[in-house]
């Protein structure tokens, strides 16, 4: 069972906005050394929307090769085109990814029937464990618990969901209509412990980019029965988590990693851009408060 802290890995760029391949490798090894339980490559936080199709594939392969079986690798493989998504999922399987994370199609806003058919078509055509990804704030569409439960029932390789609607109610509704083998991952760092209390098994995390060990500890404290310790970490990190979303993700996370000297450049591809000067000053103060920078 895939559980724990799964980092939604940022994609470091060089100053000329090419992918910093050595920087990717360094981050992968830093995460493995600091208790990150699995690595998601080419997710939203990895700026997948501005990667070319070739870059997307090369980045998946790079991370799989660098990890070399030490932890599971999840490949972000979603698209608003079903055929394009299948191509990415098939590539992830062929390259050795352990799981595929498949986002709800964005922009075209399918109905629940369209969502069901989209995910079922992918699952029927590529035999790899699939984690659905629900993030209506990014995609404009919310996959409802009943649709998820039907997909889980009808597709043996759809194993769970990254639930990033921010709704504990929706997560509770979903968990009330699936069996105990369904894997629920929090997609929101500020409600990890509440999601675990509903039967969740981990988090696919932005926070883990800058505090991997603490994120791991928050999850495993709960899973090992230390509920009060998990709650304590969750509340201690709450302020930092909120600041990681004060501007569009991954702007703050990449900015923090640059300030922490974990990447050589905080560059992002347009339309994402650097933090505002006012936001940066406040963010630096929070990073200092958490002793992440001096």
Which residues are the active-site residues?
A: 133, 162
- Please return the burial class of 278, using the count of CB atoms within 10 Å of its CB with bins 0-12, 13-18 and 19+: exposed
Contacts of 149 (CB under 8 A, 6+ apart): 174, 177, 178
Record the tokens describing residue 234, joined without a space.
């969750």
Contact criterion met (CB below 8 Å) for 252 and 225: no
- Distance from the first to the final alpha carbon of the chain: 39
Query: Residue 57's CB: how many other CB atoms inside 10 A?
Result: 19
> How open is the CA angle 21-272-259, to the nearest 5 degrees?
60
Q: What is the CA radius of gyration of the chain?
A: 18
Three-class SS state of 210: coil
Q: Could you tell me the CA-to-CA distances from 292 to 137, 219, 252, 258 in Å, in that order? A: 29, 21, 13, 11
Three-class SS state of 41: strand
């Amino acid at each position: 069972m895939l559980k724990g802290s799964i980092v939604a890995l940022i994609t470091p760029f060089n100053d000329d906005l090419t992918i910093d391949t050595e920087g990717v490798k360094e981050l992968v090894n830093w995460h493995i050394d600091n208790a990150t339980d699995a690595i998601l490559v080419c997710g939203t936080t990895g700026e997948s929307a501005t990667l070319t199709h070739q870059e997307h594939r090369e980045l998946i392969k790079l991370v799989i090769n660098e990890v070399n079986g030490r932890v599971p690798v999840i490949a972000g493989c979603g698209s608003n085109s079903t055929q394009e998504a299948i191509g990415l999922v098939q590539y992830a399987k062929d390259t050795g990814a352990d799981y595929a994370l498949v986002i709800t199609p964005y922009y075209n806003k399918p109905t629940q029937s369209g969502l069901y058919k989209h995910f079922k078509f992918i699952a029927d055509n590529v035999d790899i464990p699939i984690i659905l990804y629900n993030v209506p704030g990014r995609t404009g569409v919310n996959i409802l618990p009943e649709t998820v439960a039907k997909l889980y029932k009808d597709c043996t390789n759809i194993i769970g969901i990254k639930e990033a609607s921010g709704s504990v109610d929706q997560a509770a509704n979903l968990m009330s209509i699936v069996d105990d083998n369904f894997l629920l991952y929090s997609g929101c760092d500020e409600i990890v412990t509440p999601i675990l209390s509903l039967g969740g098994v981990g988090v696919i995390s932005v926070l883990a980019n800058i505090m991997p060990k603490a994120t791991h500890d928050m999850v495993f404290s709960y899973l090992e029965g230390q509920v009060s310790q998990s709650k304590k970490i969750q509340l201690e990190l709450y302020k930092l988590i909120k600041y990681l979303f004060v501007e569009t993700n991954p702007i703050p996370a990449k900015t923090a990693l640059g300030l922490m000297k974990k990447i050589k450049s905080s560059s992002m591809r347009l339309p994402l851009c650097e933090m505002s000067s006012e936001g940066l000053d406040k963010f630096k103060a929070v990073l200092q408060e958490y002793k992440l920078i001096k």
